Amino acid sequence: MDNNAPIGVFDSGVSGLTVAREIMRQIPNERIVYFGDTARVPYGSKSKQTILKFSRQIIRFLKTEGVKAIVIACNTASALALDDIEKELDIPIIGVVRSGASMAAKATKNKRVGIIATEGTINSNIYKDYLSSIDSEITVIGKACPLFVPLVEEGMIDDPVTKEIATRYLNYLRNENIDTLILGCTHYPLLRNTIKEIMGDGVTLVNPAYETAVELKTLLKEKNLANIKEYESASVMYKFYVSDAAEKFSRFANSIMPFDIMPAQQINIDEY
Ligand code: DGL
């Protein structure tokens, strides 16, 4: 495998960019091919069977780009598809869930951890299972927040409506005496300020993106896959593909990335 080959990163849409930007920050000399499944978002309310089918198609596409490793930058797909796909693949693959769980286990002092995520992730109980396997004394309290995704997609990040909805969702967790809260959906770090304000300073917010990038860096080193070449320009290092609405994706990406991205290209993911 060529060490200069890119890392494939995929998500149900735009928000996996929060994971991609963390990888870019921590390992700037790794090339990235990002795929956002903007035609089929949201994943959060879909069945395991559907998420597996979508994930397999995306991985087939990413492999045509010659990727050397894959990061599932979507909690729902990590929760529902990673275990099956890992067994089928001949290149390394990681998701965001394991990283988020181990970060939360390190952060909690009172062993009461909250998790907010999509319905798919919450109902899979995957965060609960990982956290219990790390420390059986940890109690996990989950809450699905399905309206957060459309609010972020609509750009209503600092909107009073978002604050009102967040208050309703999070009141449940505020009464549970948690000291750590996992932002278990890639959209939620974009609502970090609102969530922080409601939960207060006594609750540590965990963004799995950070630990995912740490885990990826270690994995590339272990497998002798780390790129030895230096960072070039963003336009050389990063490529963005979507399954729909490329212009809208590029606008959103430019609003959250520290540089202007090359226009995203639309592909027909059903061909893969
Ligand atoms: N990216 C998805 C996740 O992290 C959230 C959006 C969706 O429902 O597709 O779970």
Query: pLDDT, tens digit, for every residue of 55-79?
Result: 999 999 999 999 999 999 999 999 9
41 CA closest ligand 1 atom index: 9
Quick one: pLDDT at residue 155? 84
In the predicted structure, residue 260 carries a pLDDT above the cut 90: no
Residue 104 sits in the same domain as residue 174: yes
In the residue annotation, 185 being an active-site residue is answered as yes
Residue 82 sits in the same domain as residue 146: no
CA pair distance 5, 198, nearest whole angstrom: 43
Q: 27: how many CB neighbours lie within 10 A of its CB?
A: 19
Domain boundary among 181, 208, 235: 208
Q: How do beta strands 112-117 and 32-36 pair?
A: unpaired
CA pair distance 79, 76, nearest whole angstrom: 5
In the residue annotation, 145 being an active-site residue is answered as no
Residue 67 in domain:
yes
Quick one: pLDDT at residue 261? 87
Residue in 67, 70, 73, 74 annotated catalytic: 74
Q: What distance in angstroms lies between residue 234's CA and the mean position of ligand 1's atoms?
A: 25
Q: Whose CA is nearest to atom 2 of ligand 1?
A: 74
Under DSSP, is residue 216 helix (H, G, I), strand (E, B) or coil?
Answer: helix
Quick one: pLDDT at residue 262? 87
Q: What is the rounded average pLDDT for all residues in the chain?
A: 95
Q: What is the model's pTM?
A: 0.93
How buried is 145 (Cβ within 10 angstroms: 0-12 exposed, 13-18 middle, 19+ buried)? buried
In the chain, % of residues over pLDDT 90? 92
Whole-angstrom CA distances from 160 to 23, 142, 189 are 32, 24, 18
* pLDDT tens-place string over residues 131-183: 999 999 999 999 999 999 989 888 899 999 999 999 999 999 999 999 999 99
Q: How confident is the model at residue 10 (pLDDT cuts 50, 70, 90)?
A: very high
Q: What distance in angstroms lies between residue 75's CA and the mean position of ligand 1's atoms?
A: 6
Residue 2 in domain:
no
Quick one: pLDDT at residue 195? 98
Domain boundary among 208, 234, 261: 208
Alpha-carbon 26 to chain mean position: 15
Q: What distance in angstroms lies between residue 183's CA and the mean position of ligand 1's atoms?
A: 11
Residue in 185, 191, 199, 245 annotated catalytic: 185
Q: Is residue 107 within 8 Å of 183, Cβ to Cβ? A: no
Render the burial of 47-66: b for 16+ CB within 10 Å, e for the rest: eeeebbebbbbbbebbeeee
Ligand 1: residue of 18, 34, 186 to mutate (most ligand atoms within 8 A of CB) is 186
How buried is 219 (Cβ within 10 angstroms: 0-12 exposed, 13-18 middle, 19+ buried)? middle
In the predicted structure, residue 26 carries a pLDDT above the cut 90: yes
Say if residue 42 is preceded by a cis peptide, omega within 30 of 0.
yes
* pLDDT tens-place string over residues 178-228: 999 999 999 999 999 999 999 999 999 999 999 999 999 999 999 999 999
Average the pLDDT over 238-263 and give the result: 92
**CATH code assigned at 15:** 3.40.50.1860
